[in-house]
Every structure is written in structure tokens, then in C-alpha cells.
Amino acid sequence: MYQQASAFAAKAHQMQRRKITGEPYFSHPRNVANLLRKAGFREEVVAAGFLHDVVEDTPVTLDEIRALFGNDVAKLVESHTEDKSQTWEERKSHTIDAVRTGTLEEKAIIVADKLDNLQSIKYALSSEGNKVWGYFKRGYELQKWYNEGIVSNMYEGLRDEEIPAYFKEYERLCRWIFRK
């Protein structure tokens, strides 16, 4: 399933580029899936990590995901897919709520996604400085609100022993980037 999800996501995102680095977009879902795999999540969660943006950002549907990867993977992808008919603030509030109320696996995908995004921001800050915030529809203050909202809700309902190490890495990176 790992190879199938990787190949499917690579094809779905083949014409897309990361907004900050300009690298092929597929590097992002690959990084998310690798974080999940290294943390020991089951293959369905890793597959959902590869596929987490395909429904939101490409013509692929949840029905296609369900048919190819099963209901479990489709549900995980669906839990992470934003409703683009909503405003940015509504979508991000929904994600903050989802990370507060979600299962460990749902939270794991969200935090892995946000960690990889912040790692790209950190890289860009080192070369471009605060100009990096111009790449976003919402600038520094709202990015800070969003990421700090994820951090303050991601541990909700989890026992210490089940928290993946990369959650702490995300928290530290969030503090470093938004230290102002």
C-alpha cells in the first residue's frame, strides 16, 4: 500500500510546485508520510499521509481514494480535507477543532503536515527573511494564530506515552518561528 499511495500521490501532484521553495509539490506529502512511518504508524495512516492533499488540491475524489485504498484511508484523508467553499479563517478554525477532537491518527497526519510546512518556512526565513510571509494569503499574525492553535490543541485527549516525538518538534519549531 505504501508504494501504491506514493505513486498515486506523485502522479496526482505532478504539475504542482511548493509555493515557497518552488520544488515539486510531491516532496511535501512524501515528507509527511515519512514522518508518520518513522513514528511507527500503521500503513493506512502512512498512505493517508501521502494522500492527505490530493482531494483538496487535485481533481481526485474521496470515492477514488476509497476504491483504491479502502474506507479507512479515505476516512483519514477526509478528516484532513478542507472545504474550499469556506473562508481561510473558517477552514483553519475547523482544522484546529479537528486536531483537538480527532483520534491520534487524525492528529498525527495534521501535525506531520504542519511540521513539514513550518520546516519549509524555517528554510525560507533563513534565505528570504520576513519576505516569506508574502507567499501566504494570510500573513505572519494569522499564520501565528493558526499554528499556535494547532499546538495548544494537539495534545488534547492523548496520554504522554502515545504522543509521537515529532509533536514536540513541531511545538519547538512553532515557538522558534513565531517568537516575536
Q: Is 58 exposed, middle or buried (0-12, 13-18, 19+ CB in 10 A)?
A: middle
Residue bearing cell 518561528: 177
> Active site residue: 56, 64, 82, 169, which one?
56
DSSP annotation of 103: -
Concerning whether 64 is annotated as a catalytic residue, the answer is: no
The residue type at 90: E
Concerning whether 53 is annotated as a catalytic residue, the answer is: no
Please state, in angstroms and rounded to a whole number, the distance separating the CA atoms of residues 21 and 31.
14
> Active site residue: 57, 72, 82, 128, which one?
57
Active-site amino acid positions: 56-57
